[in-house]
Amino acid sequence: MDIRLNVMSEKPLNAETPAAHLQSWITANDAFFKRNQGEIMASPVALDRWRLFVRGMVKTEIELKFSDILAMPKIEAANTLECSGNGRSLLSEKASGNPWTIGGVGNAVWGGVRLSDILAGVGVMPEARHVGFEGLDKPLGSARIQFIRSIPLEKAMSSTLLVYEMNGEPLPLDHGFPLRALALGWTGANCVKWLKRITVSDQPVAGFFMDKVYRIFQKGEDPGAGEVVTGMPLKSIITSPADHDVLPVGTVTIRGAAYAGEARVVKVEASVDGGASWQAAEFIGPDEPYAWRRWEYRWRASHPGTYRILSRATDDEGRVQPPVADWNVLGYGNNGVREHSISIVIQG
Ligand code: MTE
């Protein structure tokens, strides 16, 4: 299938999933959004030459072959991956960065190994607190800064995979072939692609992609003092009908997806009157940890007119999706409720 993503930039390649491809629980590999800071290699690395180096505060530094990874116990897990800046362009106050709408997100079933199995094998030193990841992509821009990121050791040990499969296929080149990190329930920036080196340390990685971006900060504040973007926020989206659709009087099925990072979505409500009243939507399809849940609400639209339809999610910790997200300079984590305006008409 030749699916055209909505390309925001070619170099680096940044492209979002068109709304029409957000309609299923699984997002097809060739419809999945792409977010890059560097340049993707022209051809995939030869698997027999590929090595993963594990270095730093470990008892034994090692070099793993791809066959060593394949020989380890395999884990399959669904996980919704969202770009930290998804929804940025929908903020009422402008924020800098790629103008994502709702398609900087997708859900896949990933196959790979537990990072904790690798770390247990090398023996992490007691002082270790963070795990850094570096990929094979070539940095772009005049400063040529490599995309290196770290996550806390606790996350690395509890719920981080290194994956080589996406929806039953080898990980596609654009998504990190042959191996990427997947910090379950955390934003894409924590999931380094094309892995070549893992470094265990007592400090987070320092540098541009840790200290200047993927931080929540306000104008005039030092980005490095802001909170690091980790977990994905609680959010629901409407995937049909589309904004500005014109539909005949009758039953309108409103459908969407809802996700909550490490938490679980337990309720989705829909409103057809701009938020004055809310009705419970029904969940449809699978319910897996770290994965979005599809939902629908069947609305009997008996009168012609213009309607403001909305959805909002609640998670298992009692949090409710906010009407408007808190703003920050780089526009991360926009989980505000998004309105679709629908016209109901009498056909004839
Ligand atoms: N890994 C490397 N090596 N280089 C990158 O630029 N971008 C990150 C992450 N991993 C990136 C990376 C960001 S910001 C996101 S949102 C996700 O990859 C996007 O993953 P995808 O392109 O597979 O959807």
Q: What is the pLDDT of residues 278-305, one digit of tens each?
A: 999 999 999 999 999 999 999 999 999 9
Ligand 1 centroid to Cα of residue 192, in Å, is: 6
Structure confidence at residue 36 as a pLDDT band (50, 70, 90) = very high
Residues 6 or more apart whose Cβ sits within 8 Å of residue 129: 152, 153, 201, 202, 203
Say how many CA atoms lie within 13 Å of 35 toward its Cβ.
24
Ligand 1 centroid to Cα of residue 309, in Å, is: 33
Structure confidence at residue 2 as a pLDDT band (50, 70, 90) = low
- What's the mean pLDDT when you consider all of the chain? 97
188-206 pLDDT per residue, tens: 999 999 999 999 999 999 9
pLDDT at 142: 83
What is the amino acid identity at position 227? E
Residues 6 or more apart whose Cβ sits within 8 Å of residue 62: 53, 54, 121, 122
pLDDT at 341: 98
Rounded-to-integer distance, Cα 203 and Cα 206, Å? 8
Ligand 1 centroid to Cα of residue 88, in Å, is: 17
pLDDT at 22: 97
Beta carbon of 195 within 6 Å of any ligand 1 atom: no
Mean pLDDT of 216-223: 97
pLDDT at 3: 77
Mean pLDDT of 246-254: 98
Question: Of 3, 44, 50, 9, which Cα lies nearest the Cα of 23?
Answer: 3
Beta carbon of 192 within 6 Å of any ligand 1 atom: yes
Query: Best of 22, 27, 36 to mutate for ligand 1, by most ligand atoms within 8 A of CB?
Result: 36
- Among the residue ranges 53-62, 79-88, 133-142, the one predicted with the least confidence is 133-142
Mean pLDDT of 22-26: 97
Rounded-to-integer distance, Cα 190 and Cα 235, Å? 19
pLDDT of 76 > 90? The answer is: yes
Percent of the chain with pLDDT over 70: 99
Beta carbon of 331 within 6 Å of any ligand 1 atom: no
Query: Best of 192, 194, 197, 229 to mutate for ligand 1, by most ligand atoms within 8 A of CB?
Result: 192
Residues 6 or more apart whose Cβ sits within 8 Å of residue 274: 308, 310, 339
118-135 pLDDT per residue, tens: 999 999 999 999 999 999
